[in-house]
Amino acid sequence: MSIPLHIRINENSYNLQVEEDETLISLLRDRLHLTGVKEGCGNGECGACAVIADGQPVRSCIILAAEMEGKSITTIEGLTETDENGNVSLSPIQKSFIEEGAVQCGFCTPGFIIAAEALFMRNSDPGDEAVKEALSGHLCRCTGYKSIFKAIDKTVKNRYKT
């Protein structure tokens, strides 16, 4: 049975019909082709599929699309800004990830960046503990995490300065 769903994704409104058992990741990736949302496990264990729903980080692989009625979703694709000339600017956290070498294979990266962004929405000056908490359950097999922590620290410091 399909269910009507009104949802905002990266600032665009959609009126969709979804299946009862359709996961949010499947809606985003398979139907809307937002493939920046990554599937590492499909089971809530790795964090690669994280998106922001009304300011909260959620794992799109273990949440049903139908539960998102009326919500506003941000995926990794929604973090950049494009001006009227088509110039793309990265968000501060995306920039820091590049500068600090926090990106290796990049498969976990959208999830980590989303987690950090969601944290900044709640807390503009998070301490080490809050950062650890926000990243818990996110797995990266490439970096050893140090550079990821550095990238987040740097973003916090830059924000604080400006």
Radius of gyration for the chain, computed over Cα atoms and rounded to the nearest angstrom? 16
Among 29, 59, 71, 154, binds ligand FES (CB under 6 A): 59
Q: Is 41 left (phi over 0), alpha (psi -120 to 50) or beta?
A: alpha
Q: Tell me which residue of 162, 138, 154 sits closest to 96, measured CA to CA.
A: 154
Among 30, 106, 123, 128, binds ligand FES (CB under 6 A): 106
Asked if 37 interacts with ligand FES (CB under 6 A), we say no
Asked if 142 interacts with another protein (CB under 8 A), we say yes
CB 104 within 8 A of CB 146: no
Asked if 126 interacts with another protein (CB under 8 A), we say no
Total count of residues recorded for the chain: 162
- Residues 6+ positions from 161 with CB-CB distance below 8 Å: none
Tell me which H or E stretch contains 89: strand 88-89
Question: Residue 158 Cβ, how far from another protein at the closest point, in Å?
Answer: 16
Asked if 40 interacts with ligand FES (CB under 6 A), we say yes
Given ligand FES, another protein, none, residue 99, with its beta carbon under 5 to 8 Å by kind, binds another protein
Residue number with CB closer to another protein (8 or 137): 137
Among 3, 62, 63, 90, binds another protein (CB under 8 A): 90
Q: Tell me which residue of 102, 134, 115 sits closest to 49, measured CA to CA.
A: 115
Asked if 153 interacts with another protein (CB under 8 A), we say no
Q: Tell me which residue of 23, 98, 19, 10 sits closest to 52, measured CA to CA.
A: 10
Residues touching ligand FES, count (CB under 6 A): 22
Asked if 44 interacts with ligand FES (CB under 6 A), we say yes
Asked if 125 interacts with ligand FES (CB under 6 A), we say no
Binding residues vs ligand FES (CB under 6 A): 39-42, 44-49, 59, 61, 104-109, 140-143
